[in-house]
Amino acid sequence: MAFFERMREDIRSVMDRDPAARSRLEVFLCYPGLWALWIHRISHQLWRSNLRLSARVLSQIGRLFTGVDIHPGALLGRRLFIDHATGVVIGETAIVGSDVTMYQGVTLGGTGKQHGKRHPTICDRVFIGNNANILGNITVGENSRVGAGSVVLDDVPPNSTVVGVPAHIVYRAGQRILVTDPHDIKDPLSDALIALSARVEELEERLGTEPCEPVPFATEEADRTAYRKELDFLRDYVSMGEGI
């Protein structure tokens, strides 16, 4: 009985979150993300009853029909909405809170370097854009958003938005975070910038010149603002039906 009540709750939550959903019957018949969730509930029970092989076989049958690969050991909260479904992978020790939304291609995976708890913990009300990869035993805090295509390798604080490869914070508690320190982004280009800036400082020291006061990214920010204004103008122009 609880199983069917939970199914009704899942359908209601899809109706609330997806403007494309027109009726409960449509949601029941056309949302493979929900079928994957329901199959997982059964395979998870089998897993907990120590019927490990049956659990894995059932989850693979589910994958065949839905394109979603959820390990039966994963712990999923209530009202998980996997939109478009195809290609989602959720690993054995992943924990997903309630009211989480994720799109196609999301991976909650391991890094291949850890044992035991090696998959992420996703807290309540997190939104994960399509093809995002969240890897390792890390935590994505409540209400946070992960941009499409991001690769998240570190904890994400609550109420934040992260984007990029590797992911970095662009919003925190509603405030825009502009990355001005290359140490905040761990990629080879940032390493090159850090090395370059150390070299400039060293040269300034050798020349005995006063280091100039850095104005971080002022020009870039001005360029971006101008570009956004231009885009807004183009949007109006297109909406008048005149094309560009």
Ligand X SMILES: CC(C)(COP(=O)(O)OP(=O)(O)OC[C@H]1O[C@@H](n2cnc3c(N)ncnc32)[C@H](O)[C@@H]1OP(=O)(O)O)[C@@H](O)C(=O)NCCC(=O)NCCS
Is there binding between residue 145 and ligand X (CB under 6 A)?
A: yes
Decide if residue 84 touches ligand X (CB under 6 A).
yes
Q: How far is the CB of 162 from ligand X (least distance, A)?
A: 8
Task: Please identify, using beta-carbon distances, which residue of 118 and 145 lies nearer to ligand X.
Answer: 145
3-class secondary structure per residue, the chain: CHHHHHHHHHHHHHHHHCCCCCCHHHHHHHCHHHHHHHHHHHHHHHHHCCCHHHHHHHHHHHHHHHCCEECCCCEECCCCEECCCCCCEECCCCEECCCCEECCCCEEECCCCCCCCCCCEECCCCEECCCCEEECCCEECCCCEECCCCEECCCECCCEEEECCCCEEEEECCEECCCCCHHHCCCHHHHHHHHHHHHHHHHHHHHCCCCCCCCCCHHHHHHHHHHHHHHHHHHHHHHCCCCC
Stretch of residues binding ligand X (CB under 6 A), selected from 25-33, 92-100, 159-167, 232-240: 159-167
Binding mask 43-82 for ligand X (x = CB under 6 A): ----------------------------------------
Is residue 35 within the footprint of ligand X (CB under 6 A)? Answer: no
Contact call for residue 149 and ligand X (CB under 6 A): yes
**Contact stretch for ligand X (CB under 6 A) within 26-34, 66-74, 163-171, 185-193:** 163-171
Among positions 35, 80, 147, 160, the unique one binding ligand X when judged by CB under 6 A: 147
Q: State the residues that interact with ligand X by CB under 6 A.
A: 84, 103, 129-130, 145, 147-150, 161, 163-164, 170-171, 224
